[in-house]
Chain A
Amino acid sequence: DQQVKQNSPSLSVQEGRISILNCDYTNSMFDYFLWYKKYPAEGPTFLISISSIKDKNEDGRFTVFLNKSAKHLSLHIVPSQPGDSAVYFCAASVTGGGADGLTFGKGTHLIIQP
């Protein structure tokens, strides 16, 4: 049973437009959410995170939105740039005790078209 789901395997966006990547989760115990970006043959790179006590976190061109009631989060990239083409992983964890390993989605391949 997948606890973190990224239902779009790929997404194509024109350069300069907004990219919106979506992620759903089923485990209501998750209280910390992260987005990672991954280029081929490299390790994932941390992008941005959000705690469950917030509904929005912004860092430059990247904004993450969290809707706890819908168990949904999204990553907005605006404006999209060619270097943003990569696979984006959504991850979630339960903090505050026990193992805090991350549960990852399967990723969304974002393609920025010129």
Chain B
Amino acid sequence: NAGVMQNPRHLVRRRGQEARLRCSPMKGHSHVYWYRQLPEEGLKFMVYLQKENIIDESGMPKERFSAEFPKEGPSILRIQQVVRGDSAAYFCASSPGGGGAAFFGQGTRLTVV
């Protein structure tokens, strides 16, 4: 499967727990983006990463959220001490860079109970 892979597809966490969302980019893509879609909203940019580097995290909440894209393995979006307001669909996209189109994964739907 050559597409962007996200897992899990659905994640349920209790308030205060940690959520880890994984994203494997398309083969040959070294740029990864995370977006969040809240109910009735469009997609909001969170963070842009290249291998081992955070390029732009201007859309990330200042606390509890972090992202990484290690040299080996998938990109991880980590949310610590989740709250109900974190419930959303989180989408990862990848691109080869240079301003080309980004291709999205199917998303992880996080529900905080």
Contact = CB atoms under 8 A, between A and B. Distances in A.
Given A44-B91, A106-B41, A106-B42, A93 B99 contact: yes
B109 to A, nearest CB: 8
B43 A104 contact: yes
Contacts of B44: 104
B contacts with A: majority SS: strand
B104 interface: yes
A46 B102 contact: yes
Interface residues of A, number: 26
A43 B107 CA distance: 6
A102 B103 CA distance: 11
B69 interface: no
Nearest to A9: B40
Nearest to B95: A100
Contacts of A91: 43
A99 B56 contact: yes
A99 B59 CA distance: 11
A101 B59 contact: yes
25 contacts: A41-B106, A41-B109, A42-B106, A42-B107, A43-B4, A43-B91, A43-B93, A43-B104, A43-B105, A43-B107, A44-B43, A46-B103, A95-B99, A96-B99, A98-B56, A99-B48, A99-B58, A102-B33, A102-B35, A104-B35, A104-B44, A104-B45, A105-B42, A106-B42, A107-B42
Top-9 shortest CB links A-B:
A95-B99, A99-B56, A43-B104, A106-B42, A104-B43, A101-B45, A104-B42, A43-B106, A101-B48
Given A102-B45, A104-B35, A104-B42, 15 more contacts: A34-B101, A41-B107, A43-B106, A46-B103, A49-B101, A89-B42, A89-B43, A95-B98, A96-B99, A100-B31, A100-B48, A100-B97, A100-B99, A101-B45, A106-B42
Interface of B: 4, 6, 31, 33, 35, 41-45, 48, 55-56, 58-59, 91, 93, 95, 97-99, 101-107, 109
